[in-house]
């Protein structure tokens, strides 16, 4: 039987910089009761994404901020334990926006709603390769960059959940792919497990020299998750008519001060007649069925690999989010709220 109470993580204070012990608080409330058309979801997994840090700032981005005193927004996976919705029967695994809490009330449908986990898929994989990470990587590579076998591709943040998949998808398109990551352990994983052609340690390697050696005629495509100095170094080694997909700016910390400054050498875009485009995966919802079919095919044949970095305990979700900005994670950051029987 589900517990009669529900712990949840509440936003207490908007952080100026990194997440601290005062940013969130944990509260215990009575377990919610579903109304007609609703179901009670027992949450097992939370997906932690860097974009969640932007929701803690006072100003809107592509979505409104989390309100002070509200449950922290976030994706999750859970199981229906009580239902008044025939589309969500008891025992059904679901994924969607469940929030940082032990139990969530859910309705079906919609991009930001709750949906059943398809048969044959491990539920938590809807937070990784079959979720935001996989769809973002696929759309960025195939639709924004339109990578082909003639391309020399750079992926910054190559050991992260999106970057690691983006590089592999580009390689599966026939391109040569180089990544950047922040430790020798990560660069080794990117080369040996994700099977990039090369990977540079941005803390210790000469990035400009490494990019010149990899692509002496210039990079033709860049999938950027980091921004800052790495983006500038990429701009200095572009081929004519190169394409850049802006996915993130993790180096900025996504603090209230902003999301990074424009590259000082942005005129390289003009000199190289290059295109730089930002994108969000949910603008391409019509492509989700075909994208998921392609991803599932690569997973089934072992051609697509990913890592999961798991932190245990709902109370550790804030620290798990900060891990992304400390460079502590390898692959997708997950929080295991409770063991799966």
CA–CA distance, 274 with 270 (Å, rounded to integer): 6
Does residue 107 register a pLDDT over 90?
no
Does residue 64 register a pLDDT over 80?
yes
Which pLDDT score is estimated for 340? 86
The neighbour count for residue 271, using CB atoms within 10 Å, is 11
pLDDT digits (tens, 9 = 90+) for 195-226: 999 999 999 999 999 999 999 999 999 999 99
CA–CA distance, 323 with 325 (Å, rounded to integer): 5
Which pLDDT score is estimated for 113? 73
176: tokens are 């040569």
Only one residue has tokens 């995966």, namely 281
Does residue 124 register a pLDDT over 80?
yes
Which pLDDT score is estimated for 226? 98
Which pLDDT score is estimated for 270? 98
CA–CA distance, 239 with 90 (Å, rounded to integer): 55
Which pLDDT score is estimated for 112? 59
Does residue 111 register a pLDDT over 60?
no
Which pLDDT score is estimated for 332? 98
Q: Collapse the DSSP code of 159 into the 3-class scheme (helix H, G, I; strand E, B; otherwise coil) and give the result.
A: coil
Find the mean pLDDT for residues 237-250. 98
Q: Return the half-sphere exposure (C-beta side, CA atoms, 13 A cut-off) of residue 32.
A: 19
Which pLDDT score is estimated for 110? 58
Sheet containing strand 219-224, strands side by side: 198-201, 176-181, 152-155, 219-224, 238-246, 275-278
Which pLDDT score is estimated for 315? 97
Does residue 256 register a pLDDT over 70?
yes
Picking from 196, 192, 263, 189, the residue whose alpha carbon sits closest to that of residue 232 is: 263
Angle at 292 between CA 286 and CA 298, to 5 degrees: 145
Does residue 2 register a pLDDT over 80?
no
Q: In percent, how much of the chain has pLDDT > 90?
A: 94
Q: Are 325 and 253 in contact (CB under 8 A)?
A: yes
Q: Are 180 and 157 in contact (CB under 8 A)?
A: yes
pLDDT digits (tens, 9 = 90+) for 71-105: 999 999 999 999 999 999 999 999 999 999 999 99
262 DSSP assignment: P
Please state, in angstroms and as integers, the Cα–Cα distance from residue 56 to each residue in 84, 225, 241, 333, following that order: 33, 19, 37, 18
Q: Return the half-sphere exposure (C-beta side, CA atoms, 13 A cut-off) of residue 211.
A: 24
What are phi and psi for residue 141, nearest 5 degrees?
-80, -45
pLDDT digits (tens, 9 = 90+) for 284-336: 999 999 999 999 999 999 999 999 999 999 999 999 999 999 999 999 999 99
Which pLDDT score is estimated for 341? 74
- As a 3-state breakdown, the chain gives helix, strand, coil percent values, each rounded to 5, of 30, 25, 45
Which pLDDT score is estimated for 109? 64
Confidence band, pLDDT 50/70/90 cuts, at residue 258: confident
Does residue 49 register a pLDDT over 60?
yes
Does residue 117 register a pLDDT over 70?
yes
CA–CA distance, 268 with 156 (Å, rounded to integer): 18
């Amino acid at each position: 039987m589900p517990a009669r109470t529900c712990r949840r993580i509440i936003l207490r204070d908007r952080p100026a910089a990194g997440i601290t012990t005062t940013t969130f608080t944990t509260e215990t409330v009575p377990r919610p009761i579903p109304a007609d058309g609703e179901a009670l979801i027992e949450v097992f997994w939370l997906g932690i994404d860097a974009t969640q840090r932007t929701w803690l700032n006072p100003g809107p981005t592509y979505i409104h901020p989390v309100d002070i005193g509200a449950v922290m927004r976030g994706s999750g996976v859970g199981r229906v334990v009580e239902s008044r919705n025939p589309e969500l029967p008891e025992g059904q695994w679901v994924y969607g926006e469940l929030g940082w809490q032990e139990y969530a009330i859910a309705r079906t449908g919609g991009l930001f709603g709750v949906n059943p986990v398809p048969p044959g898929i491990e539920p938590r994989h809807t937070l990784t390769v079959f979720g935001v990470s996989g769809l973002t990587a696929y759309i960025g590579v195939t639709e924004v960059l339109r990578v082909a076998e003639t391309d020399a591709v750079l992926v910054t943040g190559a050991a992260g959940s999106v970057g690691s998949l983006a590089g592999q998808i580009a390689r599966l398109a026939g391109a040569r792919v180089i990544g950047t990551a922040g430790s020798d352990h990560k660069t080794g994983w990117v080369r040996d497990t994700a099977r990039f052609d090369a990977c540079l340690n941005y803390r210790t390697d000469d990035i400009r020299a490494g990019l010149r050696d990899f692509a002496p005629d210039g990079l033709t495509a860049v999938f950027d998750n980091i921004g800052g100095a790495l983006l500038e170094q990429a701009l200095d080694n572009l081929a004519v008519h190169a394409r850049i997909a802006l996915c993130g700016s993790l180096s900025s910390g996504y603090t209230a001060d902003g999301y990074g400054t424009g590259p000082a050498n942005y005129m390289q875009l003009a000199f190289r007649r290059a295109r730089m485009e930002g994108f969000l995966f949910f603008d391409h919802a019509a492509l989700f069925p075909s994208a998921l079919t392609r991803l599932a095919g690569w997973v089934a044949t072992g051609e697509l690999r990913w890592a999961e970095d798991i932190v245990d305990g709902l109370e550790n979700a804030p620290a798990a989010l900060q891990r992304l900005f400390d460079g502590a994670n390898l692959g997708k950051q997950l929080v295991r709220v409770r063991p799966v029987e």
